[in-house]
Structure 1
Amino acid sequence: MSDTRPSLPRVPRPLAQALALTPPGALSLGLTRYARAVATRHPAMFRRLGAHGQARFLIDPTDLPFALLLEPGGGRPRVTLLRRSAQAQATARIAGSLSALLGLVHGAFDGDALFFSRDLAIEGDTAAVLALRNALDDAELDLSEEIFAFAGPLASGLRPFVGLVERHTGVVLHRPAETLPW
């Protein structure tokens, strides 16, 4: 039986190289502010983590020059951008292409299918990862809508840009109506 599903999109190398030039402190600050805005809009998501609310998750988009250390902080999250050479103590590591990770958050892809197809790798405390997955699934996040809410009056200008990026890259930037075939 052959695998007929298309391969997951990857971040183009020139874009990844450009992102490598971004100051990690500035991105960490922006991502932390964004995560805290999401936490304010979805406090139940962080409560759903239960005993894993203080876990440290290393989110590793393998097609980007950095990883993200997510510390839920019991509802006051912090996100730290780490260069590939940096070491971080984490409860668990979740690795895959950016498109796989975003598709998983948006519920577009089945996490088990990504794991068994080796498009997603998990290391460390799998119970913590499962708690994070369940919290995200229950919250039904749409990261684009969260960005629009965070951007306030700038959202109207961002909407067409997000749609354009999604169409040209194939990366799922919103919550689709149904699960995709990954």
Structure 2
Amino acid sequence: MSPNDAFAEAPSGAPIPRFPVPFALGLRVAPLLPLSLSLTVYARRVAQSHPGLFRRLGDYDTTPFVLDPTDLPIAIELQPNKGRPSVRVVRGAGQGAARIAGPLAALLGLVHGAYDGDALFFSRDLVIEGDTSAALALRNAVDDAELDLSEEVARLTGPFAAPMKHLLAIAERRTGVSLSRPEEVDLW
């Protein structure tokens, strides 16, 4: 990737940030078990806070999904387990019935409603493979839950929630990556 390729254009014309290459390289050698365990704990907290998220998957509540941040040397295997999710971080393509791939910032932007999934798909910034009806069910469940991942992280930090939210806001401003749900503007 050349310096000029650090950003791809989002369908809206705004750039989709790419994960910095030096940090991505670190994931090639980092142990993945601690990350898998941390993400499982996090996913279960999200499931507790948003029980409808996994109920909304319907027939796909046991379908394994692969979330593939294309700017990282890992893939995330998500097993919903009927509302008791487990997450496994793997090197390589990962295994699941449906694979959703794109830059990490685009995947996070989809969760927070910062990017339009259809526009990302048609611009080829987002790739869906395998069981597309399962991927659509996951997208609809996530959209319906209106998740704010930074709020969920802040809740996990207990008394450090306020400083954590502040740090995440700074990181969001500096990187351009959507780490929280955009505040809605009331036009009335």
TM-score scaled by structure 2?
A: 0.88
Q: Which has the higher contact order (CA 8 A, sep 6+)?
A: 1
The runs of 5 or more residues in structure 2 that have no matched partner are 1-10
Aligned counterparts of 2:164 and 2:43: Cα–Cα separation in 1: 18
Q: Equivalent residue of 2:157, what SS?
A: helix
Which whole-Å deviations, capped at 9, do the CAs of 1:9-65 have from their partners, x for residues lacking one?
101111212233321000000000000000011111110000000011100000111
Cα offsets for 1:67-101 (capped at 9, x unmatched): 100011100000000012xx543110000000100
> SS state of the match for residue 173, structure 1?
coil
Structure-2 residue corresponding to 1:48: 56
1:112 matched to 2:110? The reply is: no
Structure 1 pair 21/155, CA: closer, same or farther in 2 (3 Å)?
farther
Alignment partners' CA distance in 2, 1:131 and 1:177: 25
Summarize the alignment of residues 1-40 of structure 1 with structure 2, pairs less than 5 Å apart.
Answer: 5-40=13-48
Q: CA RMSD in A?
A: 1.4
Matched with 1:99 is 105
Give the 3-state SS of the residue equivalent to 1:69 in structure 2: strand
Cα separation, partners in 2 of 1:4 and 1:150, compared to 1, 3 Å: closer
Partner of 1:77: 85
Residues in 1 aligned to 2:95 and 2:178: alpha-carbon distance in whole angstroms: 29
Aligned length, in residue pairs: 174
Q: Tell me how far 1:4 sits from its aligned partner.
A: 7.3
Q: Which residue of 2 aligns with 1:142?
A: 148
Task: Tell me the amino acid that sits aligned with residue 16 of structure 1.
Answer: A
- Would the aligned equivalents of 2:60 and 2:134 in 1 still touch at CA under 8 Å? yes
Q: Which moved more, 1:57-66 or 1:146-155?
A: 146-155
- Secondary structure of 1:90's counterpart equals coil
Distance 1:140 1:171 in 2: 17
Partner of 2:178 in structure 1? 172
- TM-score (structure 1 length as normaliser): 0.91
The one-letter code matched in structure 2 to 1:46 is F
The runs of at least 4 consecutive aligned structure 1 residues that moved more than 6 Å come to none
Identity of counterpart residues, as a percentage? 57
- Return the letter of the residue paired with 1:110: D
The aligned amino acid for 1:148 is: A
AA aligned to 1:99 is A
Q: Aligned in 2, Cα 1:102/1:4: closer, same or farther, shift over 3 Å?
A: closer
CA contact (8 A) 2:75 2:94 kept: no
Partner residue in 1 for 2:96: 90
- Contact 2:67/2:78 (<8 A) preserved: yes
